Amino acid sequence: MDYKELDIWVQARALVKSVYVLTKSFPREEQFSLTSQVRRCSVSVPSNIAEGCGRQSNKETIHFLHISRGSLYELETQLILANDLGYIDTDIKVILHEVERVKKLLNGFINYYKKL
């Protein structure tokens, strides 16, 4: 199966879009620090899913899925910090719900590969 057809990749990609829209409102002075870091974390999630799917063995695939999961947890923390700093002007629960949905899908995908 092509990774682009996987629900986890599609949802992770949608999360990237949400993060980019959300971070547009971050202060200009954060452009090269927190804004950049949050965006890079979000991009890392679908990118590592894709890279893992392109690997030769299940062990390699799982390794990249774990990297993706780590980026997702990092993203969640950075979003909470941005909210603490007053940079998020919408309800943070919306984006955190999206992060949680991707987390669940990713954990399920990791478990699927572990059983192969």
Q: What is the mean pLDDT of residues 66-90?
A: 97
Q: Is 96 a residue whose pLDDT tops 80?
A: yes
- Residues 107, 69: contact at Cβ < 8 Å? yes
Report how far residue 103's alpha carbon sits from residue 73's, in angstroms, rounded to the nearest whole number.
8
Contact 78, 41 (CB under 8 A): yes
Mean pLDDT, the chain, integer:
97
Residue 1 scores a pLDDT above 90: no
68 in Cβ contact with 37 (< 8 Å): no
pTM of the model: 0.96
pLDDT of 36 higher than 80: yes
Q: What is the pLDDT of residue 25?
A: 94
